Amino acid sequence: MQSMEKRLPFQADWNALEIGCGTGLLSCPVSSMITSLTALDTSEGMIDELNKKIRSRRISNIQPVVSDIFTFPHVPEQKKEYHLIFSNMTFHHIANVNGVLYKLYSLLLPGGYLAVADLDEEDGYFHNDGNEKVHHGFRRSLFKTQLLQHGFTDISFSTAAALTKINRVNIEKTYTVFLVVARKSKEQ
């Protein structure tokens, strides 16, 4: 959240979409700075936990949705496009990254921001389950190329966090998380 605050010019009138919201670790603080937040997650259990936080904190501007981005019930006639789309540690779980980037670009308003925090390319031991179908992080230069191919501009990376853990081969290792911020062209 601190990295996002440093890099994004949050505005009170923004509508935002979060991909892979989980239990609302970022949803809740982001919602306090904007008008509305649609929070997507494929896990009903995660959305249930987010709903508990929303009730206990009396948050009125988060709309939780159990969905993935491809089946997200976005109704074009309603034209609910977003000033900001963000995710945290979700993209390495997405098989079709190019498809998701294409979809997200289409949902952004002209001049809107995409903010993705995820693992830098790693040794493949970050996840405890070696059979889990995940990307082993991302090489920043290749992720930037994908963003450019989908029309994103003003792309910049920073290191948002460093996570030190005992990985699944019992070695203590530090894994870095990048934050990339990109924009949809204003001329759309």
CATH class as words, domain 2-184: alpha beta
Residue 80 has what pLDDT? Answer: 67
Element (H, E) at 99: helix 97-107
Q: pTM (2 decimals)?
A: 0.93
d(CA 41, CA 25): 13
- Cβ-based neighbours of 108, under 8 Å, separated by 6 or more: 81, 82, 83, 85, 114, 184
Per-residue pLDDT of the chain (188 residues; tens, 9 = 90+): 999 999 999 999 999 999 999 999 999 999 999 999 999 999 999 999 999 999 999 999 999 999 988 888 665 545 568 999 999 999 999 999 999 999 999 999 999 999 999 999 998 889 877 777 888 899 999 999 999 999 999 999 999 999 999 998 999 999 999 999 999 988 75
As a whole number of angstroms, the distance between CA 87 and CA 46 comes to 15
Helix axes 140-149, 97-107, angle to 10 degrees: 50
Per-domain boundaries in the chain = 2-184
DSSP state of 79: -
- At 142 the pLDDT is 96
Predicted pLDDT of residue 74: 61
